[in-house]
Amino acid sequence: MFEIKNGMSNDNSQEIGDNHVGTSAKTPLRDDAFAINDTEKMARIQDSVRDILETLGMDLEDDSIKGTPRRVAKAFVNEIFSGLNPENKPRLSTFDNNYKYGEMLVEKNITVYSTCEHHLLPIIGRAHVAYISKGQVIGLSKMNRIVDFFAKRPQVQERLTMQVVQALQEALGTQDVACVIDAKHLCVNSRGIRDVQSSTVTSEFGGKFKDNDVKREFLDYIKMDTDFD
């Protein structure tokens, strides 16, 4: 346990401050993360949110805010952080590449809604995912769904990018998978430096995508104008 002094714990989070720290490609979950069910989690979160709002001085008897603890608890468990639960991972069914398509397949502009694990503020952006088949192909929507699954948890963008690639590599049985994510972090845009123009770009290239020519082809596809409106 951490020693508490002046209402603050003696862990090293104060030393780290706002520095961007990542520890692993795996989401940091305790072994007992699913020891209680979602209903109990929502009850505990509801109590915690109520305590936070009351500590901030909010009047929870007001009709506008009295339901906020319950709404936040439901949103956290069922939506915003639903990707923490492995039971929610989409089934990544694959099919034989009977038409022998041998070029890269790119799914671009996949919407990313995630949450920065450092300040619990939104990350909003786009993911671009590609793979080259080694005999198996996957439904297009599954690529969107796997991005959404890993995005719906407290995240750092580097880890999210790696998790998407690793999941598709495992499902497709090939290392030839790539992902680029371009996103705005509201912990940068709305607090601290408050730079509303900047965005963060991360990439993970596996197998053939490490080859400069293949990588360039993928990046050129991303830049293509595909506005069909």
Q: Which residues form the catalytic set?
A: 116-119, 157, 185, 187
Nearest Cα neighbor of 149 from 137, 132, 164 is: 164
The Cα–Cα gap between 1 and 5 comes to 13
- Residues contacting residue 220 through CB under 8 Å, at least 6 positions apart: none
CB neighbours (10 Å) of residue 114? 27
Beta bridge partners of 223: none
Nearest Cα neighbor of 113 from 82, 86, 70 is: 82
CB neighbours (10 Å) of residue 145? 16
